[in-house]
Amino acid sequence: MPLSPNDILQNRYIIVELIGRGGMGAVYKAIDQRLGNTVALKQTTVRSPHLREAFENEACLLASLQHPVLPVVSDHFTEDDEKFLVMQYIPGDDLGTMLMNETERFPVPDVLRWADQLLDALDYLHSQKPPIIHRDIKPRNLKLNPRSDVILLDFGLAKGSQMIYTADGAGRNVRILTPEYAPLEQIQGTDSDPRSDLYSLAATLYHLLTGKAPSDALTRAASVLSEQTDPLRPSNELNPQIPPAIAVILHQAMSHSLEQRFASARAMRTALKMVYGSNMGSGLVRDSSRLLLDSSGQTTLPIVERKRLVAEAPSSGVPEPRLPLPVVVVAKEGGGNYQTIGEAIARAGPGTRILVRPGVYRESLVIDRSIEIIGDGPREDIFIESTASVCLVMQTEYALVRGLTLRGRAGLEHKAHVTVDIPMGRLVLEECDLSSDTLACIAIHGSNANPVIWRCQIHDSKGGGVLVYDHGQGMIEDCDIFGNAGAGVEIRQIGNPIIRRCKIHHGERDGVYVTEKGAGLIEGCDIFGNVRAGVSIHRQGNPFVRLCRIHDQVNGYGVYVYDKGEGTLEGCNIFGNSKAGVGITQGGDPFIRRCRIHHEKNRGVFIFEHGEGTIEKCSIMGNFDTGISIGQGSNPTIATAASIRMVRRPFACFRGGEGGSKRAT
């Protein structure tokens, strides 16, 4: 039954307006009266038992997933024999509608940033047991949040476009697809796997980059079988702003054969990271005819040859990636092309891959051209050390460094310097081991600095692990950051990195320290065993800390917000810390939402000396002392549905503490 404005469901949700309607249901904008926020209410009106079971499965599945690219699902219910799903409301048009309304294509850098976010989400989905395959990635299922980050939706039930429906006997694989974005195996109803999502994503990116929907897989297959040319035009032929190497990656992901696509979302993401950084902000682009990718997303190795540059993308189509990258070998004891890495860099053309064999290289490297430096042997046998200056400084738009041990040494003169200095460009630093007996292991600074730090060990510095400052950005993922004398990660002076799935532990100070208007996203990290706070927010620091485990800090708080620090904590698991799970003082004003704060060695939340903040929908339980302590002129808001259970006391105000409580149980 259609809903009208002001209809009320579950004595809670007030309908505002219809967002969209299709043959299987509708999506409405609604107000959640209990929480006071706007939600999207998805309704299905189908009567098929299989489809209704699929809707129920979707609700349960989405509610169990937590990723920034996926919408948050808060509720599902049945009313008047119709099923409803309550999820995050994202205002604005979807990207499909925006494509129809815009006269120009989306900027290439924006689309590549969304591609990176979506591939991270697919890696998360495909890593579930069993793997979760979306099967309906298309522009109409993508929206942008207020930060202009992409959100992957599944509003197919509410769309009126042409759709194909398939279901097995149990109703578990009911899916909706749109032919232009679906791979052949999905259209034919044969077995699909995570690589099917890669086809759909590549087709979606193709449309966003070119403004033209790709030829559908059936038409392409029919053309090939009839010995005609594949009608899928190269993306860089339609949009010369697309780097040829990106066109190669899209073409590979849209291969008819599953085996010819990338092996995984992570492999495709790695391939994009390896090539797109060199093509942003430069009039020169790679000659992708010399780029050969395997299904793991890595470029293949060996022949030694020079690489030429082209000033603009070729218009004759996507080049066949047949020839490998130029490769030179550095061997300390001889037997390679060079005995020092510095000489290899000085003689390398842009795009050269430099393989470094085991040895101790006492050099200070300046990367001033687009190259790759890769360890050719066990990482622990390949050392780069420098006592006079930094081990490595980035002075170009793009470079990749993988599989090296980098040591910053003070030397006899005790000079202070970082191990890796990144003042500009996209340095992709992968699977390296970094330490320093002077300052930080890595410094990221300046508005043009935007590196990717992936699967590195960052440890035992006399300063911090990673320092991000002066508008520096970047992505730090899957790293092990430990044993540093300063903070594991320090963000200051409007630094704004993304830190995901890192272990930040056993530091002599804070795990993460955010100050002086530093920001950033800290997500899915395990932060533990640090001497002071797990996360410390200070002087208008304003990070977004999401889905982190913050526990067992030795002498401090799980999260400490002070001296007008701000920030948002969402969905975090905070426990076992020495002083309290969360400490707020001196005008600290965080927003804490949907967190579990439990089994602390003292208080759950301690708000004192004019601390403020909002605590909403948190579960606070099992703490040794008070669940929430408020004192000394503090006035936080304990918002709706905060569940407070305790060992001794759930709630205490002392020494002039106040606190507003909308609802606490």
**326-509: CATH number:** 2.160.20.10
As a whole number of angstroms, the distance between CA 543 and CA 518 comes to: 7
Residues 6 or more apart whose Cβ sits within 8 Å of residue 638? 615, 628, 659, 660, 661, 662, 664
Three-state SS at 551: strand
Inter-axis angle of helices 108-126 and 194-210, to 10 degrees?
Answer: 170
As a whole number of angstroms, the distance between CA 120 and CA 106 comes to: 21
Residues of the chain with CATH 1.10.510.10: 95-170+177-310
Q: What is the pLDDT of residue 412?
A: 56
Structure tokens at 480: 């092990």
Three-state SS at 467: strand
Do 614 and 636 form a contact (C-beta atoms < 8 A)?
Answer: yes
Residues of the chain with CATH 3.30.200.20: 8-88
Radius of gyration of the chain (CA): 27
Q: What is the pLDDT of residue 363?
A: 96
Q: What is the pLDDT of residue 81?
A: 82
Nearest to 181 by CA among 152, 144, 141, 147: 141
Q: What is the pLDDT of residue 54?
A: 66
Residues of the chain with CATH 2.160.20.10: 326-509
Task: Write the burial class of residue 146 (CB in 10 Å: 0-12 exposed, 13-18 middle, 19+ buried).
Answer: exposed
Q: In 334-377, at which residue ranges do the beta strands (DSSP E only) sit?
A: 353-356, 359-362, 365-367, 372-375
**8-88: CATH number:** 3.30.200.20
Structure tokens at 292: 């050969």
Q: What angle do CA 501, 505, 507 make, to 5 degrees?
A: 140
Q: What is the pLDDT of residue 450?
A: 86
Residues 6 or more apart whose Cβ sits within 8 Å of residue 257? none
Q: Produce one character per residue of 377-386: b if its CB has 16 or more CB atoms within 10 Å, e if not.
A: eebeebbbbb
As a whole number of angstroms, the distance between CA 551 and CA 601 comes to: 11
Do 245 and 236 form a contact (C-beta atoms < 8 A)?
Answer: no
Q: What is the pLDDT of residue 221?
A: 85
95-170+177-310 maps to CATH 1.10.510.10: yes
As a whole number of angstroms, the distance between CA 542 and CA 554 comes to: 24
Q: What is the pLDDT of residue 66?
A: 80
Identify whether 234 is preceded by a cis peptide bond (ω within 30 of 0).
no
Inter-axis angle of helices 194-210 and 265-276, to 10 degrees?
Answer: 30
Q: What is the pLDDT of residue 325?
A: 55
Q: Produce one character per residue of 314-335: b if its CB has 16 or more CB atoms within 10 Å, e if not.
A: beeebbebebbbbbbbbbbeee
CA dihedral over 477, 481, 484, 487, signed as positive or negative: positive
Do 256 and 184 form a contact (C-beta atoms < 8 A)?
Answer: yes
pLDDT by 10-residue block (mean), the chain, 665 residues: 91 93 81 90 78 69 80 86 88 90 85 95 90 89 89 55 33 57 84 91 96 90 82 92 90 90 90 64 34 42 29 34 67 95 94 94 95 94 92 92 94 78 92 95 95 94 97 93 98 94 97 97 96 98 96 98 97 97 98 95 96 94 92 86 56 62 45
Task: Write the burial class of residue 564 (CB in 10 Å: 0-12 exposed, 13-18 middle, 19+ buried).
Answer: middle
As a whole number of angstroms, the distance between CA 648 and CA 464 comes to: 38
Nearest to 96 by CA among 45, 39, 160: 160
In this prediction the pTM is 0.62
- Which secondary-structure segment (H or E) carries 592? strand 591-593
Q: What is the pLDDT of residue 652?
A: 67
Three-state SS at 343: helix
